[in-house]
A and B are shown apart, each in its own frame.
Chain A
Amino acid sequence: MDKQTINLLKYRGQGSTAFTGRSEGRLARTDLKLDEKDADGVIYEVIIPKNTTSINSSFFLGLFYPSIKKLCSIEKFDEKYVFVIEEEDQEWKSILEKNLAECRRRAHNELNQTTGIDF
Chain B
Amino acid sequence: MEDKGRNEIVRRQKTIEEKVYRQRRCHKSRLLSWKQRSLSKIQPSIQVWKDTRSVSLLYKILSSSKEHCTDIIKIPKRFSFYDSHNDCVSVFTQLAASLYHHSKEVCIDFSECEDISVSTMTLLYILIRDFRASLGKGKKKIKSTKLTVKPPSKTDDLRVMKYLKIFDFYDYKDFTDNDGEFLKLPVLSGKFRGSYVENRKATAAKQIVEFINQSYRPANKILSPKGRNLFEGLTNEMLNNAEDHSIKNETWYVSGVTFHDSNIEADLLELNLTILNFGDSFFEGFERTKRENAANYQKLEKLLEHHQKQFSLRKRFEKESLFTLYMLNEGISRLKYEDASRGNGTMPFLKAFSDLEDKGPQGKKYRSVLKIITGHTTLSCDSDVVPYGEDEKHLRISLNKEQDFLKLPEPQYLQYHSKYFPGSFIECKVFLNKNLVDQKNG
User: Interface residues, chain A, CB within 8 Å of chain B?
Assistant: 10-24, 27-28, 31, 53-54, 56-58, 61-62, 65, 69, 89, 91-92, 95, 99, 102, 105-110, 112-119
CB pair A17–B206 under 8 Å, yes or no, is yes
Does A61 contact B199, Cβ atoms closer than 8 Å? no
A115 touching B192 in the complex, CB below 8 Å, given contacts A13-B197, A58-B344: no
B240 touches A20 (CB 8 A): yes
A-contact 0/1 string along B278-303, CB 8 Å cutoff = 00000000000000000010011011
B interface list, Cβ under 8 A from A: 192, 194-199, 201-203, 205-206, 225-226, 228-229, 232-233, 236-237, 239-240, 243-244, 296, 299-300, 302-303, 306, 326, 329-332, 339-345, 347-348, 389, 393-397, 405-406
Contact check, B203 vs A115: say whether CB atoms are below 8 A apart: no
In contact, A13 and B196 (Cβ under 8 angstroms): yes
Indicate whether A21 sits within 8 Å of B195 (C-beta atoms), given known contacts A110-B341, A114-B394: no
**Which residues does chain A contribute within 8 Å of B244, judged by CB atoms?**
22-23
Q: Which residues of the partner chain B approach A105 to less than 8 Å between Cβ atoms?
A: 393
Contacts of B330 in A (CB 8 A): 106, 109, 115-116
Contacts of A102 in B (CB 8 A): 348
B348 touches A95 (CB 8 A): no
Q: Which one, B205, B302, B331, B341, contacts A20 given CB within 8 A?
A: B205
Which residues of chain A are within 8 angstroms of B344 by Cβ–Cβ distance?
A: 57-58, 61, 106, 110
Evaluate contact between B203 and A16: CB separation under 8 angstroms.
yes
Are A116 and B332 in touch, CB under 8 angstroms?
yes
Q: Report which of A13, A54, A89, A117 forms a contact with B299, defined as CB distance below 8 A.
A: A117
Contact of B197 among A10, A95, A119 (CB under 8 A): A10
Assembled-state Cα–Cα distance A69/B342 (Å): 13
Chain B neighbourhood of A118, CB < 8 A: 299
A20 in contact with B236 given A109-B330, A117-B332 (CB within 8 Å): yes
With A61-B341, A115-B343 known as contacts, the answer to whether A99 contacts B229 (CB < 8 A) is yes
B203 and A109 contact, CB distance less than 8 A: no
Q: Which of these, B192, B196, B233, contacts A54 with CB under 8 Å?
A: B233
**Could you tell me if A114 and B331 are in contact, using CB atoms closer than 8 angstroms?**
yes
CB distance from A97 to the nearest CB of B (A): 11
A59 to chain B, nearest CB (A): 9
Smallest Cβ-Cβ distance to A106: which chain B residue: B344
- Taking A114-B331, A116-B394 as known contacts, 20 extra A-B pairs with beta carbons closer than 8 A to each other, sorted by chain A number, are A10-B197, A12-B196, A13-B202, A17-B232, A18-B206, A20-B236, A23-B243, A24-B196, A27-B194, A53-B225, A53-B232, A58-B344, A95-B225, A99-B233, A108-B393, A110-B340, A112-B393, A115-B299, A115-B331, A119-B306
